[in-house]
Amino acid sequence: MTTEIKERIPSPIGESKPRLENDQKVTGAAIFADDIQFGNSLLYARIMHSPHPHALIKSIDTSKAEALPGVKAVVTGADFPGYLGLYLQDRHIFCRDRVRYVGDPVLGVAATSEEIAVKALDLIDVEYEVLEPVLNAEEGAKPDAPLIHPDLGNYKVANFIFPQPGTNISNHFKLRKGDVDGAWEKCSTIVERKFWVPHIQHVPIEPHTAIAQWDETGEITLWASSQSPFAQRNLLAQALGVSQSSVRVIAPKIGGGFGCKAGISMEALVVAIASKTNGRPVKLLLTREEEFHTAFVRQELIAYYKMGCDENGKILAMENTYYWGGGASTEYGVNVTRAAGYSCTGPYEVPNVKADSLCVYTNHPVGGAYRGFGMPEMHTGLEQCVDELAYKAGIDPVDIRSINCVKEGCETVTGFKMHPTGLSQCIEETAKAIQWGQKSPASAPNKRRGKGTAIMWKAPAMPPNAGSSAWVELAEDGTVNVGLGGQDLGQGAFTVMAQMAAAALGVPYESVRISSPVDTRYSPYEWQTVASRLTWSMGNAVVAAATDARRQVLDLVSEAWDEDPEDLDIRDGIVVSYKSEQEQPIKDIVVYGLPKPDDQGWLGGPIIGRGKFMPSYVTGLDAETGQGTRSVVHYTTGSQSVEVEVDLDTGCVEVLRGVSAFDVGRAINPALVEAQIEGGFVQGMSSALFEEMIMVDGFMQNPSFVDYRIATTTDAPSDLQSIIVEVPQDDGPWGARGIGEHPMVPTVAAIANAIYDAVGIRMMSPPFSAEKVYLAMLEAGIVE
């Protein structure tokens, strides 16, 4: 009988289960932050933003606004002296003495209607003394550049970030390995290039929304469209000087994040305003225009690469300098630049490396986490240089990658021995799928086709000890409730967690629920929903909690049945004994326990399992060389190949096909993995062809969807292929590692390489508009 059960229960691991929230989203039952009702007591906040890229605030007169009927609070930086920041506490909630970018929040107003709040802002006079702005990271890094943060030396900072007080450099990551200067002469081919990757923004379809309430006892509640309820709790408590336990963050459904709803940004503004409204809740909903400056943007990157290889195509040396335009605050962004430092070679084994990754303050909007966390920007130039190196050395671009890519046991750039990785297989798979080496005919005489490949690596970028926790509780009918603190952003995290809990506990997938919305008062701790870390880290915590609950059930049954727990199992929600062949559904056990024989009392009671996970093995890196035993938890690797067609007359680029292969360790839910890969490809393609925050003298020129273009479904190539490679991660649940961010990392470079293959030009700065491509072809003499 038990064998029969074993056979008929497939594990939910590796099954493409439908997403848990499908019904809620399709029926409209899903509750987003803006859907939550607060009745008549709700107030509406609006923010006054700096009109200057860089200026001193000389005076603020709010008296007329405060006298306007319906205005309930006017809050300025004078009210909140505390500092805010994840890795570097360099920012106030509202500006105090100085504004540092166009859009910097100067003050906030709460009123009984949005209209009155807007009117109140018109009544406020702010006097500024305009200062010279820093508009470019490379210029900003120079010693004579105007200083944006004169107090940089006094800011609190994580011990792995290295600010340079007296400059605009808020982090300098140095990597020194081998002998670069001595290596160049051994190189038969050398490539040197400069690239510029502009600011882009995440543009989630749901703009940032937050509602805050301070009750009369000082308890703070924040409802926010959030990737990071626990980090927000912690950062708010630090900035406001209150206990973490006095701050409660509730995170309802979220309409896209991509990193901009991680850490904290506009949420602090609305909490600060709510401190002055006598317990009345205050809502702040960003407009699309505000989304481009009141939350986070992606840093810009000015990057210099020099790399060389010998006549066999073996890369001998790299010397890379990255100037990251971090914006007016780099509280989160400093770690992007660190990640780019310890990953500076890309997924290659290079014996001689010199790299400097510099985080530079500029008078631009605040840079933060954006899908890929520096890797898409860094790989944009790097992977084009590797391509160029191949062509110049007379080696096939796919071969040069196979020759040099990281393999198990090789020494990575920081001196860490590479764990098992399927990168070589990914390269082979994409080359095969795109029919590498075969040129297909163009669709018209004035068009040219080309193929390009780029590969990538990315590690979760986070503190070494970012933790996860979970609980698993069982109800009277044997259904399972999983408590967790990470967020489902549409990536399917809750679905995957339910699959893992079901598999670890031994119950059907359909009987598992996720306890949501995440509420820091009731949900277990999770660092943040970032870094593609949930499947791996939160997954480990959920598996531990489910295993704990399972152990409790089996201990109880072994006592009641007087059997060895080793002979017992839970399958499909039924406890079975392989020895006695007894069986009992868990629903009869998990709340009321089991009776002792002869009515002599009861055993057990409500079952609640707990679990946690925190990596314990990540070491520090030397401040001068960037070398250490283990820089990161692991790297997810992958490869992408694309085929494009370029119109010689117009410069228009069409992406015809995209093929991706990523090593995910183990695909817990293959359909969701494929969705991540396709979505990442299209987002990467969007940044390759369309996206750019056009900044002129510190002012953004295109803050709307009319002028800031993103790829939509109609722009995506119909031929997208996703290949899943599975080389297990030693500490991942069932071997799984993350795949959330990675698929957009190589895309820009892959498209650029394909453009080169088609028409022979190198594109040094995305987006590759028709005009840029045409002018480059003109300059190269490819067209007349």
Partner 1 sequence: MKPPPFEYYAPTTVEEALVHLAEHGYDAKPLAGGQSLIPMMNFRLAQPAVIVDLNNIEGLSFIRPEDDGSLAVGAMTRHQMVEKSELIVEKAPLVHETMPQIATSQIRSRGTFGGSLAHADPSAELVCVSVALDGEFKIANQSGERWVPAKDFFLGLFTSVLEPEELLVEIKLPPFPERTGWSLKEIARRPHDFCLIGVAAVLTLDENNKCQGAKLVYLSAGDGPVEATQAAELLKGQDMTDEAIRAAAEKASAEEIDPSSDIHATAEFRRHLANVLTRRALKEALDRAKGN
Contact stretch for partner 1 (CB under 8 A) within 255-263, 427-435, 513-521, 707-715:
707-715
741 is catalytic: yes
CB of 46 to partner 1, least distance (A): 11
Of 355, 349, 466, the closest CA to residue 418 belongs to 349
Q: Does 711 bind partner 1 (CB under 8 A)?
A: yes
Contact stretch for partner 1 (CB under 8 A) within 195-203, 330-338, 405-413, 771-779:
771-779
Number of residues located near partner 1, criterion CB under 8 A: 20
Residue 735 carries which side chain, given as an amino acid letter? G
Q: Among 709, 717, 760, 762, which residue interacts with partner 1 (rule: CB under 8 A)?
A: 709
Site for partner 1 in 517-556 (CB under 8 A): none
CB of 93 to partner 1, least distance (A): 25
Buried b or exposed e, range 591-615, using 16+ CB within 10 angstroms: bebbeeeeeeeeebeebbbbbbbeb
CB of 444 to partner 1, least distance (A): 10
Radius of gyration of the chain (CA): 27
Contact stretch for partner 1 (CB under 8 A) within 162-170, 417-425, 564-572, 700-708:
700-708
Residue 776 carries which side chain, given as an amino acid letter? A
Contact stretch for partner 1 (CB under 8 A) within 350-358, 486-494, 609-617, 703-711:
703-711
Q: Does 690 bind partner 1 (CB under 8 A)?
A: yes
Residue 512 carries which side chain, given as an amino acid letter? V
- Nearer Cβ to partner 1 (215/771): 771
Q: Among 278, 440, 619, 701, which residue interacts with partner 1 (rule: CB under 8 A)?
A: 701
How many angstroms separate the Cα of 708 from the Cα of each of 196, 208, 388?
Answer: 18, 18, 31
In degrees, rounded to 5, the angle at the alpha carbon of residue 92 between the alpha carbons of residues 87 and 93 is 110
The pairing of strands 512-515 and 518-519 is: unpaired
Find the distance separating the first CA and the last CA of the chain, reported in whole Å: 79
- Rounded Cα distance between 25 and 41, Å, is 28
Binding mask 267-306 for partner 1 (x = CB under 8 A): --------------------x-------------------
Q: Among 238, 425, 435, 650, which residue interacts with partner 1 (rule: CB under 8 A)?
A: 650
Catalytic residue from among 311, 583, 741, 771: 741
Of 73, 56, 55, the closest CA to residue 121 belongs to 73
Residue pair 284/272 in contact by the 8 Å Cβ criterion: no
Binding mask 24-53 for partner 1 (x = CB under 8 A): ------------------------------
- DSSP letter at 184 equals G
Q: Does 782 bind partner 1 (CB under 8 A)?
A: no
Of 657, 771, 665, the closest CA to residue 722 belongs to 657
- Cα dihedral 19, 23, 28, 31, rounded to 10, equals -60
Residue 64 carries which side chain, given as an amino acid letter? K
CB of 447 to partner 1, least distance (A): 12
- DSSP letter at 89 equals -
Of 163, 577, 78, the closest CA to residue 333 belongs to 163
- Nearer Cβ to partner 1 (171/686): 686
Q: Does 774 bind partner 1 (CB under 8 A)?
A: yes
Contact stretch for partner 1 (CB under 8 A) within 4-12, 31-39, 533-541, 708-716:
708-716
Contact stretch for partner 1 (CB under 8 A) within 294-302, 435-443, 720-728, 764-772:
764-772
Contact stretch for partner 1 (CB under 8 A) within 48-56, 143-151, 538-546, 769-777:
769-777
Beta bridge partners of 476: none
Q: Does 119 bind partner 1 (CB under 8 A)?
A: no
- Nearer Cβ to partner 1 (622/771): 771
Q: Among 37, 59, 714, 718, which residue interacts with partner 1 (rule: CB under 8 A)?
A: 714
- Rounded Cα distance between 79 and 89, Å, is 18
CB of 691 to partner 1, least distance (A): 11
- Nearer Cβ to partner 1 (35/707): 707
Of 257, 280, 282, the closest CA to residue 271 belongs to 282
- Rounded Cα distance between 597 and 778, Å, is 90
CB of 708 to partner 1, least distance (A): 10
Site for partner 1 in 620-649 (CB under 8 A): 649
CB of 326 to partner 1, least distance (A): 24
- Nearer Cβ to partner 1 (108/604): 108
CB of 771 to partner 1, least distance (A): 5
Q: Among 78, 130, 623, 694, which residue interacts with partner 1 (rule: CB under 8 A)?
A: 694
Q: Does 769 bind partner 1 (CB under 8 A)?
A: yes
CB of 773 to partner 1, least distance (A): 11
Of 576, 722, 538, the closest CA to residue 641 belongs to 722
The pairing of strands 282-285 and 568-571 is: unpaired
Q: What does 449-514 look like in DSSP terms, one character per residue?
A: EEEEEEEEEE---S-TT--EEEEEEE-TTS-EEEEE----SSS-HHHHHHHHHHHHHT--GGGEEE
Q: Among 425, 584, 702, 765, which residue interacts with partner 1 (rule: CB under 8 A)?
A: 702
Q: Does 770 bind partner 1 (CB under 8 A)?
A: yes
The length of the chain in residues reads 784
Of 378, 296, 376, the closest CA to residue 340 belongs to 378
The two structure tokens encoding residue 544: 């531990």
- Nearer Cβ to partner 1 (95/644): 644
The two structure tokens encoding residue 148: 């944006």
The SS3 assignment for 740 reads coil
Active-site amino acid positions: 741
- Binding site residues, partner 1, CB under 8 A: 287, 649-650, 652, 690, 694, 701-702, 706-707, 709, 711-712, 714-715, 769-771, 774-775
